């Protein structure tokens, strides 16, 4: 029989904290994605559209240590005779583990630690399991955020699990209903994304699945060609399995990749699927209904930087690769979701067993046929379609019990929609006490027409409807105050109305001195390349830092250090660092900036000191530490005199950085 229960899980971890300073979006809303001539016309549409970085109204989660300590998380376990699925509602609803009970086999790469690293939209991300990426390009803003979890029921009477939230960046409602019927060998996930807005939205969905990586593991999907990473051109298109950017090797074995690598496959059969099978012909398989038609393979590669990332994210022995399922041709393609649209699809996750000789046959069509045959035997297409039909019919069934609460923003948006005569689908219930969370001041604006003056600056909203409400509140006698103008300025900046944003922040400062408004002026000027003016405004913010909490002060110090480097003032950065207290001096970002300033000043001893530490906040693909290492080796080779650029190039060729400093995702 199927059971659903909550179970505590204690593991080593480091919980990320939020940075309350608003992080403004890229000034270019679309990315340029170069495409080779080989890319088909149907894969050219909307390349790069609406994929520019943005995170507001969410806050960055970029404050966490490298050291881990015991951390207890709530899990929700859905289990039957064949599978045990363990979910993390405190961390985006991640499916952490999927165990095939008869063989006691873990089908996923299950990470035994919670080690945040700088890979997500909001920075903090962790590897392992299956994550659900919705809304904004990249690892979701919900990756390390709480979501709602509720008990529901399948048509056969067995318990099911609903994971859901309100995605704030694109204002989308997301739910996934998980079913594990009696005697089922597959876990089913019925996902629905609803655009409750009267305007179109840019939509993004990728199911990211981590599975164990070994030399004998092959990834198979029913596609004849792949859109593959093709530096310096963004993407090329070529026949599987031997891709040119894999140096002609079989790209379906991830250990053939030298550097980090990814390619995308448009499935040409129904159901679309992707499998990762070992030498015995067994492994994990994901299949879906037709809407979710793209599949992807990502791996870190076999070079030292890629191997370091594997051990940076999980303990030794837990190497993984990712197989993914998505809606658009690649993750750098936009997707238009019409106003009031409601999209859904069903995925199935389970064990695949097939003929190993055929699954690993060098003739790609034979391998695909073998995988399709094995999948059809384990999960007949009619069964997947029947599950989709049944789940769709139950998509708005009420929750029987709430197992975990997410944030209050969904309840706030539901109240705003209700005040406008609009609504969310019935499944989206947000049982949050409006008086006890950070949304309370915004409920006051909605209910009474003014925003309380004591609102915390970090509780940002940026969507147009809230901007209209807040702008209207300024006409009320008690509505025009410094906090309202501060928030309205953030809203203006997010719509690229930069002149208006600056005007509002200056008016806010005229009413009350504020490190927030001074910092926002400086941050926007930095984005505009006005470094000297930005530095002056940051200095005003720093002088008022006593009004900030510790995390905001830390984040402000980081930005000031980076600004001084960007403006070509390493000596100023050095002196600013020297005046900081020990806690701020010990920050990762501050330390990297300190070393970069020291390098510019020829202080290689300081560079050496900084590189002796371990770092937690290094961005995916970032080369700052290895660049510092190469410069340090060139300094030594030159007899402790400042090296020339050519000597640094020579050092890159002759000195391999220590593994702990090598975060490069490509060799060389």
Q: Is the residue at 467 inside a domain? A: yes
Residue 424 domain-assigned?
no
Percent of the chain with pLDDT over 70: 99
415-429: pLDDT as tens digits: 999 999 999 999 999
Whether 254 and 391 share a structural domain:
yes
Note if the bond before 271 is cis, omega within 30 degrees: yes
Picking from 254, 236, 252, the residue whose alpha carbon sits closest to that of residue 244 is: 236
Tokens of 68: 């881990």
Q: Are residues 459 and 330 part of one domain?
A: no
- Backbone dihedral angles phi then psi of residue 628, each to the nearest 5 degrees: -65, -40
In the predicted model, is pLDDT for residue 621 greater than 90? no
Q: What is the mean pLDDT of residues 506-521?
A: 98
Contact present, 563 and 522 (Cβ < 8 Å)? yes
Please count the other Cβ atoms lying within 10 Å of the Cβ belonging to residue 282: 20
The candidate with the shortest Cα–Cα distance to 76, out of 410, 409, 402, 407, is 402
Same domain, yes or no, for 292 and 169?
yes
Question: Do 210 and 322 touch, CB atoms closer than 8 A?
Answer: yes
Q: How far apart are the first and last CA of the chain?
A: 54
pLDDT tens digits along 317-330: 999 999 999 999 99
The dihedral built from the CA positions of residue 286, 287, 291 and 295, taken in this order, carries a sign that is positive
Residue 421 maps to a domain: no
Both 496 and 604 in a single domain? no
Q: Is residue 501 domain-shared with residue 592, that is, in the same domain?
A: no
pLDDT digits (tens, 9 = 90+) for 633-666: 998 898 888 888 898 889 888 888 999 999 998 8
CA distance linking residue 162 with residue 224, whole number of Å: 35
Q: What number of helices (H) and strands (E) belong to the chain?
A: 18, 27
Whether 159 maps to a domain, the answer reads yes
Distances from the Cα of 519 to the Cα of 552, 565, 597, angstroms: 11, 17, 22
Residue 243 in domain:
yes
Count CB neighbours of 641 within 10 A.
Answer: 12
Whether 63 and 163 map to the same domain: the answer is: yes
The pLDDT value given to residue 247? 82
At 170, phi and psi to the nearest 5?
-105, 0
Q: Kindly tell me the burial class for residue 291, based on how many C-beta atoms sit within 10 Å of its own C-beta (0-12, 13-18, 19 or more).
A: middle
- The Cα–Cα gap between 262 and 229 comes to 6
Domain count, the chain: 3
Q: Which helix (H) or strand (E) holds 345?
A: strand 342-353
Tokens of 319: 């190497």
The tokens describing 631, both together, are 């410069």
C-alpha dist (Å) from residue 413 to 245, 299, 441, 469, 484:
46, 38, 13, 13, 19
Per the structure, the complete domain to which residue 487 belongs is given by 438-548
Averaged pLDDT for residues 38-52: 95
Same domain, 270 and 327: yes
Query: Would you state the pLDDT for residue 597?
Result: 97
- Which of 523, 548, 573 delimits the end of a domain? 548
- Look at the block and give the residue holding tokens 């041709």: 329
pLDDT in tens, 332-344: 999 999 999 999 9
Q: Does residue 270 lie in a domain region?
A: yes
Q: Which token pair is 331?
A: 């993750």
| 111 DSSP assignment | -
Tell me, what's the pLDDT at 456?
Answer: 85
Contacts of 586 (CB under 8 A, 6+ apart): none
Q: What is the pLDDT of residues 68-116, one digit of tens each?
A: 999 999 999 999 999 999 999 999 999 999 999 999 999 999 999 999 9
> ω into residue 232 within 30 of 0, thus cis?
yes
Residue 560 lies in a domain: no
Least confident of 352-361, 432-441, 444-453, 461-470: 432-441
Say whether both 182 and 305 belong to one domain.
Answer: yes
pTM, 2 dp: 0.96
Note whether 100 and 46 are within 8 A (CB). Answer: no
Would 411 be classed as within a structural domain? no
Domain boundary among 401, 422, 451: 401
Question: How far apart are the C-alpha atoms of 40 and 338, rounded to whole Å?
Answer: 25
pLDDT tens for each residue of 562-594:
999 999 999 999 999 999 999 999 999 999 999
Whether 202 and 313 map to the same domain: the answer is yes
Separation between Cα atoms, residue 406 and residue 458, nearest integer Å:
18
What does the alpha-carbon distance between residue 231 and residue 396 come to, in Å, rounded to a whole number?
A: 46
CA distance 469 to 446: 7
Which pLDDT tens digit goes with each residue over 460-510? 999 999 999 999 999 998 999 999 999 999 999 999 999 999 999 999 999
- Could you give the CA distance from residue 299 to residue 257 in angstroms, rounded to a whole number? 8
| Distances, alpha carbon 8 to alpha carbons 71, 151, 529, in Å | 10, 17, 49
What was the pLDDT predicted at 248?
Answer: 86
Residues 85 and 181 in one domain: yes
State the SS3 of 117-175: EEEECCEEECCCCEEEEECCCCCCCCCCCCCEEEEEECCCCCEEEEEEEEECCCCEEEE
CATH number of the domain to which 507 belongs: 1.25.40.10
Element holding 563 (H helix, E strand): helix 550-566
**Dihedral (Cα; 386, 391, 394, 400), 10-degree rounding:** 130
Q: Given this model, what pLDDT does residue 434 score?
A: 53
Q: Distances from the Cα of 386 to the Cαs of 85, 335, 373, 390, 398, in angstroms?
A: 22, 27, 19, 6, 21
Whether residues 342 and 247 share a domain: the answer is yes
How many angstroms separate the CA atoms of 285 and 219, rounded? 10
Is pLDDT of 435 > 60?
Answer: no
d(CA 455, CA 452): 6
Domain boundary among 548, 583, 618: 548
Name the residue among 87, 162, 174 with its Cα closest to residue 136: 174
Q: How far is it, in rounded angstroms, from Cα 494 to Cα 523? A: 13
- CATH number of the domain where residue 320 is located: 2.70.98.10
Three-state SS across 203-268? CCEEEEEEEECCCCCEEECCCCEEEEEECCEEEEEEECCECHHHCCCECCCHHHCCCCEEEEEECC
User: What is the distance, to the nearest Å, from the Cα of residue 153 to the centroid of all Cα atoms in its chain?
Assistant: 30
List C-alpha distances in Å: 318 to 112, 117, 352, 416.
9, 16, 21, 45
User: What is the residue-wise DSSP string for 365-391?
Assistant: HHHHHHHHHHHHHHS-HHHHHHHHHHH
What distance in Å separates the CA atoms of residue 439 and residue 446, rounded to the nearest whole number? Answer: 11
Task: Record the tokens describing residue 361, joined without a space.
Answer: 């046959």
Give yes or no: residues 535 and 573 share one domain.
Answer: no
């Amino acid at each position: 029989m199927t059971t659903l229960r909550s179970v505590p899980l204690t593991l080593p971890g480091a919980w990320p904290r939020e940075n309350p300073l608003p992080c403004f979006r890229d000034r270019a809303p679309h990315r340029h994605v170069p495409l080779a001539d080989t890319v088909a016309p149907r894969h050219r549409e909307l390349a790069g559209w609406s994929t520019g970085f943005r995170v507001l109204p969410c806050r960055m989660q970029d404050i966490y240590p490298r050291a881990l300590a015991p951390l207890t998380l709530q899990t929700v376990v859905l289990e039957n005779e064949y599978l045990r699925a363990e979910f993390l509602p405190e961390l985006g609803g991640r499916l952490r583990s999927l165990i095939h009970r008869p063989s006691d086999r873990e089908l996923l790469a299950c990470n035994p630690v919670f080690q945040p690293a700088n890979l997500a939209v909001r920075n903090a991300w962790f590897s392992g399991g299956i994550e659900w990426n919705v809304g904004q390009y990249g690892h979701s803003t919900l990756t390390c955020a709480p979501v709602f979890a509720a008990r529901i029921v399948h048509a056969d009477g067995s318990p099911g699990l609903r994971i859901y939230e309100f995605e704030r960046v694109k204002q989308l409602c997301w739910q996934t209903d998980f079913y594990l019927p009696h005697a089922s060998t597959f876990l089913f996930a019925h996902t629905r994304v609803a655009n409750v807005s009267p305007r179109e939205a840019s939509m993004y969905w990728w199911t990211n699945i981590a599975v164990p990586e070994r030399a004998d593991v092959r990834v198979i999907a029913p596609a004849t060609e792949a859109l593959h990473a093709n530096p310096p051109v963004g993407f090329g298109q070529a026949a599987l399995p031997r891709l040119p950017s894999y140096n002609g090797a079989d790209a379906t074995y991830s250990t053939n990749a030298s550097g980090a690598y990814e390619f995308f496959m448009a499935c040409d059969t129904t159901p679309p699927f992707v499998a990762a099978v070992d030498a015995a012909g067994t492994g994990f398989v994901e299949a879906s209904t037709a809407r979710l038609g793209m599949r992807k393979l990502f791996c870190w590669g076999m070079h030292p930087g890629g191997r370091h990332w594997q051990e940076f994210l999980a303990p030794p022995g837990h190497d993984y690769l990712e197989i993914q399922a998505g809606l658009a041709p690649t993750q750098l393609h936009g997707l238009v979701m019409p106003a009031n649209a409601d999209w859904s699809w069903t995925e199935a996750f389970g064990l695949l067993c097939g003929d190993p000789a055929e699954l690993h046959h060098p003739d790609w069509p034979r391998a695909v046929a073998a995988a399709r045959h094995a999948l059809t035997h384990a999960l007949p297409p009619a069964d997947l379609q029947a599950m989709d039909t049944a789940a769709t019919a139950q998509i708005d069934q009420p929750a029987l019990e709430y197992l975990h609460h997410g944030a209050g923003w969904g309840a706030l948006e539901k109240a705003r929609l209700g005040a406008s005569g609009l609504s969310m689908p019935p499944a989206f219930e947000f049982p949050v006490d409006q008086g006890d969370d950070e949304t309370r001041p915004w409920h006051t604006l909605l209910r009474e027409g003014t925003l309380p003056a004591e609102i915390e600056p970090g509780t940002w909203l940026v969507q147009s409807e809230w901007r209209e409400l807040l702008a209207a509140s300024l006409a009320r006698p008690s509505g025009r105050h410094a906090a309202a103008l501060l928030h309205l300025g953030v809203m203006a900046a997010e719509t690229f109305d930069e002149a208006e944003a600056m005007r509002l922040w200056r008016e806010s400062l005229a009413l009350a001195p504020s490190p927030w408004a001074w910092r926002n002026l400086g941050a926007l000027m930095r984005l505009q390349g006005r470094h000297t003016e930005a530095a002056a405004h940051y200095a005003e913010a720093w002088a008022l830092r006593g009004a900030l909490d510790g995390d905001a002060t830390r984040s402000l110090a980081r930005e000031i250090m980076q600004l001084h480097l960007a403006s070509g003032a390493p000596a100023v950065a050095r002196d600013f660092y020297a005046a900081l207290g020990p806690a701020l001096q010990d920050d990762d970002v501050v330390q990297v900036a300190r070393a970069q300033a020291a390098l510019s000043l020829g202080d290689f001893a300081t560079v050496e000191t900084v590189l002796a530490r371990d770092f937690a906040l290094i961005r995916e693909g970032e080369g700052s530490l290895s660049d510092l290492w190469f410069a340090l080796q060139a300094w030594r080779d030159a007899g402790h005199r400042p090296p020339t650029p050519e000597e640094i190039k020579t050092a890159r060729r002759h000195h391999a950085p220590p593994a702990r400093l090598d975060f490069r995702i490509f060799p060389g």
